[in-house]
Amino acid sequence: MADIRIDSADGIATLLLARPDKKNAITDPMYAAFADALAAFAADAAVKVVVVTGEGPDFCAGNDISMFAAAAGGDPAASMINVRRFLDAISTFPKPLVAAVTGRAIGIGATMLLHCDLVYLAEDAALLLPFVDLGLVPEAGSSRLLPDRIGHARAFALFGLGEPLTGTDAVALGIGNAALPAADILPAAQAAARRLAAKPSAALIATKALMRDADAVRAAIDRDTAAFVERLSSPEATAAFAAFAARKG
Ligand code: COA
């Protein structure tokens, strides 16, 4: 499967972003594979909980920027079809999602955490939301979900100033459950997943559904996606994509 690896045992499915040479930046086929895997896990009664993690030291460097550049020069809305399938799948996933995050979590690598139920972060993890610097706007409903979670002023410092957030600070702000040394992150997420897998699963699913305002989340994703698509072909964004492509030249 396209740079996504899945594995399932003892009620726990693991979804691994497996493109470490590119810091697990997510491509269109990876969005499609991620969405398909979540749909399969949702339908599989043997899967009680899903762990999401990344191969190598960095969780995820965000959307693959060459994909943005191609979208800007082509059909931006069409380029978002698999992204949107992924966002719908993760934001409506009925079973517990546990994230294990080390290193960098950039763009969608950070905003997807707002759709997870338990988040374990390396103390020195670096969350970064560089949408404005890329001439873009926040995605994945994060323009609403992040200020709802941490307050407007703090969210604006991340979006507007592009300030990075350490794992320790992210936990203090309520984005994660525990900040630990990097080597302890996956074991902590797996231990939590084992505890969840042993619980009455229908009660867990009902609890998660009660805790999430599905209509509000969908509306936030709709709003962000419309603005994001509009920004993709803006002069600010195309200049930023070209600068990324040229930075090692
Ligand atoms: N899209 C496409 N390729 C990416 C990428 C992304 N989002 N993030 C990293 N890569 C690629 C790099 O181009 C590089 O490829 P190369 O080896 O073929 O040159 C490889 O991954 C390793 O990254 P590199 O930049 O050499 O590592 P670094 O440690 O110096 O920096 C980052 C790592 C993540 C800080 C830097 O790559 C970066 O800023 N990436 C873009 C993050 C971003 O803005 N994402 C979009 C959010 S909306």
For the chain, list the domains and their CATH numbers: 4-182 (3.90.226.10)
Q: Which helix (H) or strand (E) holds 84?
A: helix 81-91
Indicate the top mutation candidate among 3, 19, 21, 22 to test ligand 1's pocket, ranked by most ligand atoms within 8 A of CB. 22
pLDDT in tens, 97-109: 999 999 999 999 9
Give yes or no for residue 138 CB within 6 A of ligand 1. Answer: no
User: Which ligand 1 atom is nearest residue 248's CA?
Assistant: 19
Q: Which residue CA neighbors atom 38 of ligand 1 most closely?
A: 61
- pLDDT of 249 over the 60 cut: no
How far, in Å, CA of 1 to CA of 32, rounded? 10
How far, in Å, CA of 181 to CA of 35, rounded? 30
3-state SS of 106-131 is ECHHHHHHHHCCEEEEECCCEEECCC
pLDDT in tens, 45-64: 999 999 999 999 999 999 99
Q: What is the mean pLDDT of residues 23-29?
A: 97
Give yes or no for residue 28 CB within 6 A of ligand 1. Answer: no
pLDDT above 70 coverage of the chain, percent: 99
Q: Which residue CA neighbors atom 22 of ligand 1 most closely?
A: 22
pTM of the prediction? Answer: 0.97
Question: DSSP code of 131?
Answer: T
Q: 209 CA distance to ligand 1 centroid (A)?
A: 36
Question: Residue 23: left (phi > 0), alpha (psi -120 to 50), or beta?
Answer: left
Indicate the top mutation candidate among 17, 19, 22, 23 to test ligand 1's pocket, ranked by most ligand atoms within 8 A of CB. 23
Q: Which residue CA neighbors atom 46 of ligand 1 most closely?
A: 62
Q: Which residue CA neighbors atom 23 of ligand 1 most closely?
A: 22
Q: Tell me which of 80 and 172 has the higher pLDDT.
A: 172
Q: 57 CA distance to ligand 1 centroid (A)?
A: 13
CB 15 within 8 A of CB 4: yes
Which residue, chain included where needed, has tokens 């190598």?
A: 56
Give yes or no for residue 175 CB within 6 A of ligand 1. Answer: no
In whole numbers, what is the pLDDT of the chain averaged over residues? Answer: 96
CB 171 within 8 A of CB 121: yes
Question: DSSP code of 56?
Answer: S
Question: DSSP code of 164?
Answer: -
C-alpha count within 13 angstroms, C-beta hemisphere, residue 136: 27
- Total Cβ atoms within 10 A of residue 113: 26
The per-residue pLDDT for 72 is: 85
- Total Cβ atoms within 10 A of residue 201: 18
- R_g (Cα) of the chain, nearest Å: 17
Q: 61 CA distance to ligand 1 centroid (A)?
A: 6
Write the CA distances from 124 to 55, 60, 64, 104, 204, integer angstroms. Answer: 17, 14, 23, 9, 31
Q: 22 CA distance to ligand 1 centroid (A)?
A: 6
